[in-house]
Amino acid sequence: MMDAVSLPPLEDLVRSARAVAVPMATRFRGVTVREALLLEGPAGWTEFSPFVEYDDAEASAWLAAAIDFGWNPQPEPVRDAVPVNATVPAVTPDEVPAVLARFDGCRTAKVKVAERGQSLADDVARVHAVRDAMGPEGRVRIDANGGWNVDEAERAVHALADADLEYVEQPCTTIDELAELRRRITRWDIPIAADESVRKASDPLAVARAGAADIVIVKAQPLGGVHRALEIVAAAGLPAVVSSALDTSVGLAMGTALAAALPELDHDCGLGTSSLFTTDVAAPPLRPSAGVLPVGRIAPDPDLLAAVAASPARTHWWIARLTRCHGLLAG
């Protein structure tokens, strides 16, 4: 429940709401078109874009984040640019160079693995194609989205140990599994990063207390906003990597605000994902240049808003979802 003083009236949200459907250049975790609802508050434009399969209880945290960013001042930044990684979907090895070419100057690549319907051999081939393209000084991390059990994850880490991995993100689903895997792979000295165990957990600090991860992945929208995410990072006491959830450029600006406010930023952030779209809502879009993103709010371009406007039926669906989530925040 949000404080009644901080929760704007529903009609204020609906008044500026614009539903968009942004096409992807490459299928990413089953998504070919990314839908979002953009809102304009007193502080600027903001984004409400929980994935369509999420229930209202989970989606309401994303609305809290959108309201926080659009209606409240944000923490003072300690940096004016954020280094970001390239993101490689579960593509074939021959598609890797074209994907990486969309991420100008990025020195780090995150590679999706454990895709449903694919094998460990597919993952190994993709990761090694990325390693070859990045060169020995490039950084390569993998993200399994909880797709392995402990034995599968251990085999995968063993098979990929020669790729000089920076870390493995959410290899297993549960905190107990992550802790067990962390014990098993100490000989390879590959850190474990927790994503879903932070952003989808009722207690986002449980994974840190259990000693089940070396790094926390934080995403502003799922965690309820920049202020809340900063509190979680401080309480976790672990290095943090700020990432996105396929946000448009408007939502990515929320991510850069979070990354810019972290006292320490030891790793490149996963905020370059606008490069996975064929177009965006801003001109120019918030995409990596020389491996970094500038920090600052983004306003959508009216012509692009019109070009990627969602259908009337999908707009109605998003407004109905907004209404239900607003009701949950109101208590």
Radius of gyration of the chain (CA): 19
Say what the pTM is.
0.96
Taking only the tens place, the pLDDT of each residue in 56-104 is 999 999 999 999 999 999 999 999 999 999 999 999 999 999 999 999 9
155-176 burial, b for 16+ CB within 10 Å, e for fewer? Answer: ebbeebeebebbbbbbbbbebe
Q: Sign of the CA dihedral 70, 81, 192, 125?
A: positive
User: Averaged over 6-29, what is the pLDDT?
Assistant: 95
Separation CA 10–CA 30 (nearest Å) = 32
Q: Residue 4 pLDDT > 60, yes or no? A: no
Residue 30's pLDDT band, with cuts at 50, 70 and 90, is confident
Alpha-helical (H) ranges within 185-236 are 196-199, 206-209, 226-236
- Which tens digits make up the pLDDT trace of 138-187? 999 999 999 999 999 999 999 999 999 999 999 999 999 999 999 999 99
pLDDT 10s digits, 236-291: 999 999 999 899 999 999 999 999 999 999 999 999 999 999 999 999 999 999 99
Which pLDDT band, with edges at 50, 70 and 90, does 27 fall under? confident
Q: Which residues are tagged catalytic? A: 112, 219
Burial 66-101 (b: 16+ CB within 10 A, else e): bbbbbbeebeebeeebbbbbbbbbbbebeebeebbe
Whether the link from the prior residue into 285 is cis, omega within 30° of 0, is no
